[in-house]
């Protein structure tokens, strides 16, 4: 992980491209440019630890992360994957709470850190930005509600089927370096062996097909049935 200041004008240009800041005027942005910090995280490096009180808002410019909690016996539960263009750590920066989970880079990731004071200034002048943050948090609450109820009420097979249906573009899911069974299992709240068994089952039933590069849905209707989607 290394940290490097970037000339303010270049930064300003970049800030304008952020979804999250789209509505702000030039002046506000250039103030921001002066206080934001740019960091690059190596694959597998920790962006922040559970328990940290991290007072920056993060904006993921490129790369991807996982947010997780782990148990003493080594199992981990992935709570969320973070993709390009997302902001995170609202909890730490605005509510001043210790972060409830750990964030780890899945690949090399470039992240902007926006310090609390800068953010608070923006909010006090642009309530619309506050609303955007609130909407982001609402989405996270919805996702966590889904996660919790799925963990409680659905089988591993159903959760996996659901995940496939969500992720598929057309009927194919591209597998990336970190879309391996270990990570998928952590995401689903189980262990690799169990997932492997589930995959075997779905493959035998000719609902899916899987190789190193892709997962292909062969029978969407059948998969939907396994996902128990009737009641969502």
Residues that bind a copy of itself (CB under 8 A): 69, 71-72, 75, 77, 79, 90-91, 94-95, 97, 100-101, 123-124, 127, 130-131, 133-135, 137-142, 144-149, 151-154, 189, 228, 230-231
Residue 152 in 3-state DSSP?
Answer: helix
Residue 1 binding partner per list a copy of itself, DNA, none, with a CB distance cut-off of 5 to 8 Å that depends on partner kind: none
Complex with DNA: residue 115 or 192, whichever CB lies closer: 192
177: tokens are 């370096």
d(CA 199, CA 161): 10
Complex with a copy of itself: residue 61 or 181, whichever CB lies closer: 181
Query: Phi and psi (nearest 5°) for 67?
Result: -115, 125
d(CA 23, CA 222): 44
Q: Which of 126, 137, 59 is nearest to 91 (CA)?
A: 137
Q: What is the DSSP string of 75-113?
A: -EEEEEEE-TT-EE-HHHHHS-PPPSSEEEESS-EEEEE
The contact mask relative to DNA for 133-162 (x = CB under 7 A, - = no) is ---------------------xxxx-----
Q: Given candidates 140, 181, 222, 228, which one binds DNA under the rule CB under 7 A?
A: 181
Q: Give the interface segment with DNA, choosing from 55-63, 94-102, 123-131, 195-203 (CB under 7 A).
A: 195-203
**Shortest Cβ distance from residue 177 to DNA (Å)?**
6
d(CA 198, CA 192): 10
Complex with a copy of itself: residue 101 or 161, whichever CB lies closer: 101
**Shortest Cβ distance from residue 211 to DNA (Å)?**
9
d(CA 200, CA 102): 31
Q: How is residue 63 annotated by DSSP? A: S
**Shortest Cβ distance from residue 215 to a copy of itself (Å)?**
23
Return residues touching DNA (CB under 7 A): 73, 75, 154-157, 177, 180-182, 189-194, 196, 199-200, 210, 212
């Amino acid at each position: 992980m290394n940290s490097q200041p970037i000339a303010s004008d270049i930064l300003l240009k970049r800030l304008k491209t952020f979804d999250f800041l789209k509505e702000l005027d030039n002046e506000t942005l250039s103030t921001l440019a002066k206080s934001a910090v740019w960091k690059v995280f190596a694959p597998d490096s920790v962006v922040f630890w559970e328990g940290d009180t991290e007072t920056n808002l993060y904006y993921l410019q490129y790369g991807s992360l996982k947010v997780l909690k782990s148990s003493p016996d080594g199992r981990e539960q992935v709570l969320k994957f973070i993709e390009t263009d997302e902001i995170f750590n609202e909890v730490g920066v605005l509510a001043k709470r210790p972060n409830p989970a750990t964030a780890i880079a899945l690949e090399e990731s470039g992240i902007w850190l926006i310090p609390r004071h800068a953010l608070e200034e923006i909010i006090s002048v642009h309530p619309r930005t506050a609303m955007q943050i609130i909407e982001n948090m609402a989405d996270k609450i919805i996702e966590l509600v889904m996660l919790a109820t799925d963990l409680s009420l659905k089988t591993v097979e159903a959760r996996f089927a659901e995940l496939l249906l969500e992720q598929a573009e057309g009927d194919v899911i591209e597998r990336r370096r970190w879309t391996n069974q270990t990570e998928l299992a952590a995401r689903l709240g189980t262990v690799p062996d169990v997932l492997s068994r589930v995959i075997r089952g779905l493959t035998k039933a000719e609902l899916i097909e899987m190789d190193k590069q892709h997962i292909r849905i062969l029978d969407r209707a059948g998969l939907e049935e396994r996902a128990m989607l009737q009641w969502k």
